[in-house]
């Protein structure tokens, strides 16, 4: 693993950093293929939207692009960018002139079971709910305790992911992936305007489907609708798209779109 802290390899982090103390920051997880970070522009766009939303000045784009390339220069890997508001302020009160901290690290590719892409993955429902907060919705901020609690709900290695609802009972996402629902042959994805993350791979999958003439409807989704669904698809920056084969014991059809999409993704 290589870690650059404000551009310096292996440097330490101030224990008073607000990202560490309050989760006052943002992150991105990028897939690197042949030394090239996939959808880098879209990741930086979301980071920038999050920074604007939280009022954190973003480091110069060239610095981030350069450090992403240095963190995982060749082959297949994962790069993580963390930007925090840095040190300062009194208690929660943010400093007037923040000096953001950036941490860019490179990691080995995690290599899940290849059957996840072909045979599909088993899913379960999580009890932990997502709180609605439009000011934090869509962005990838550092507060992920809801996902941590949801992921702690099971340890069966055969179950790859858990689906999460918001506190009003609407289906939003999986613990670390976005969701597409195939019902009546049509694609629907839950809206992420009150909670959830606007995933980069969700954007890619949607653009790919729409390019093929298949509109994707983004709207509130009730949990009951998943009982009627033929198929479910999960997306994130590392996995691309996984078809689901089961939700809490109910069999689901492995959706053929995922194989086509993943093949397209390999060429990106
Ligand atoms: C809660 C949550 N939703 C959605 C996603 C998918 O986002 P992306 O496609 O940008 O990886 C992630 C990724 O880790 C996530 O943690």
- Express each pLDDT in 228-252 by its tens digit: 999 999 999 999 999 999 999 999 9
Can you tell me whether residue 169 is helix, strand or coil? coil
Strands 240-247 and 121-125: parallel
Residue 47 burial (CB count, 10 A): 23
Long-range Cβ contacts of 258-264 (<8 Å, 24+ apart): 258/117, 258/233, 259/117, 259/118, 261/205, 261/208, 261/209, 262/117, 264/208
Domain with CATH 3.30.470.10 in the chain: 2-108
The residue whose CA is least distant from atom 2 of ligand 1 is: 176
Domain with CATH 3.20.10.10 in the chain: 115-139+152-266
- What mean pLDDT comes out for the span 68-84? 97
- Ligand 1 centre to CA of 180 (Å) is 13
Sheet holding 77-84, edge to edge: 8-9, 2-5, 101-108, 77-84, 25-33, 36-37
Q: Provide the pLDDT confidence category of residue 22 given band limits of 50, 70 and 90.
A: very high
Q: 2-108 maps to which CATH number?
A: 3.30.470.10
pLDDT at 10 over 90: no
Q: Provide the pLDDT confidence category of residue 76 given band limits of 50, 70 and 90.
A: very high
Q: Provide the pLDDT confidence category of residue 111 given band limits of 50, 70 and 90.
A: confident
The residue whose CA is least distant from atom 13 of ligand 1 is: 176
* Average pLDDT of the chain, as a whole number: 97
- What mean pLDDT comes out for the span 139-160? 97
| Ligand 1 lining (C-beta closer than 6 Å) | 29, 147, 173, 176-178, 197, 199-202, 235-237
Q: 115-139+152-266 maps to which CATH number?
A: 3.20.10.10
Percentage above 70 pLDDT, the chain: 100
- Ligand 1 centre to CA of 236 (Å) is 5
Model pLDDT, residue 112: 87
Q: Closest Cα to residue 12, out of 20, 232, 191?
A: 20
Question: 262 Cβ partners below 8 Å, 6+ apart?
Answer: 117, 240, 241
């Amino acid at each position: 693993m290589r870690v650059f802290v404000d551009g310096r390899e292996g440097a330490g982090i101030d224990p008073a950093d607000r990202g560490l103390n309050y989760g006052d920051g943002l992150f991105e997880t990028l897939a690197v293929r042949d030394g090239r970070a996939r959808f880098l522009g879209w990741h930086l766009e979301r980071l920038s939207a999050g920074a604007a939303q939280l009022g954190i000045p973003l480091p110069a784009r060239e610095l981030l692009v350069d450090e992403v390339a240095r963190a995982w220069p060749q082959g297949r890997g994962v790069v993580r960018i963390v930007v925090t508001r840095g040190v300062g302020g009194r208690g929660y009160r943010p400093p007037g002139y923040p000096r953001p901290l950036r941490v860019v690290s490179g990691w080995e590719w995690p290599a899940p079971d290849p059957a996840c892409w072909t045979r599909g993955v088993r899913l379960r429902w999580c009890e932990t709910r997502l709180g609605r907060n439009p000011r934090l919705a869509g962005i990838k901020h550092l507060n992920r305790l809801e996902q941590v609690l949801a992921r702690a709900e099971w340890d069966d290695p055969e179950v790859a992911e858990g689906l999460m609802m918001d506190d009003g009972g609407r289906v939003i996402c999986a613990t670390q992936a976005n969701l597409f629902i195939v019902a009546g042959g049509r694609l629907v994805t839950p809206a992420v305007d009150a909670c959830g993350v606007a995933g980069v791979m969700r954007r890619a999958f949607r653009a790919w489907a729409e390019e093929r003439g298949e509109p994707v409807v983004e709207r509130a989704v009730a949990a009951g609708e998943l009982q009627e669904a033929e198929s479910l698809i999960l997306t994130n920056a590392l996995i691309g798209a996984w078809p689901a084969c089961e939700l809490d014991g109910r069999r689901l059809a492995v959706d053929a779109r995922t194989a086509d999409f993943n093949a397209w993704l390999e060429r990106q």
